[in-house]
């Protein structure tokens, strides 16, 4: 097989693998209250750059914390989340205190002013979860 044929075969295999994986997931929608937080001692417990599961939060990381009721919906550690009004995909890297419900906290590094400007608002989020047997039968 020549080089071009090998390359095309590799691309085909990679695309089939990705599409199969993607077919195992769906994007769900939910409206939540979203606020923002920073890596500051005043806003966090203990070590400001260490999240609840032990992940290190770096200022450029697109990360969120979620209320624990959302975790029961499948929005768990490393779940991919798109947030209305923001670009890119965020990863769940932190969890919030038990008192919060239907809420996310968007990590904004050390930029306290940016977090204040965001404030608190209702937004739609889209989160990627693995299909379960009920979803597969539809």
Phi and psi (nearest 5°) for 9?
-65, -45
DSSP string, 8-54: HHHHHHHHHHHHHHHHTEEEEEEEEEEEEE-S-GGGSSS-TTB-TTS
Structural domain spans, the chain: 26-130
Banded model confidence at residue 2, pLDDT cuts 50, 70, 90: low
| The listed CATH number (3.30.1490.20, 1.10.3720.10, 2.60.260.20, 2.40.40.10) that belongs to domain 26-130 | 2.40.40.10
For the stretch 102-131, pLDDT in tens is 999 999 999 999 999 999 999 999 999 988
Distance CA 14, CA 41 (A): 44
Under 8 Å between Cβ of 49 and 38:
no
pTM of the model: 0.77
């Amino acid at each position: 097989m020549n080089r071009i044929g090998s390359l095309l075969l590799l691309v085909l295999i990679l695309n089939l693998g990705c599409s199969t994986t993607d077919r195992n997931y769906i994007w769900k929608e939910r409206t939540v209250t979203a606020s923002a937080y920073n890596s500051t001692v005043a806003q966090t417990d203990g070590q400001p750059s260490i999240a609840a599961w032990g992940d290190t939060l770096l200022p450029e990381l697109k990360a969120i914390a979620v209320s624990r009721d959302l975790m029961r919906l499948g929005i768990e550690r490393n779940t991919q989340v798109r947030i209305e009004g923001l670009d890119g995909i965020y990863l769940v890297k932190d969890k919030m205190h038990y008192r919060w419900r239907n809420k996310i906290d968007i990590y904004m590094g050390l930029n306290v002013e940016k977090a204040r400007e965001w404030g608190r608002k209702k937004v739609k989020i889209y989160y990627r979860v693995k299909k379960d047997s009920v979803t597969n039968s539809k």
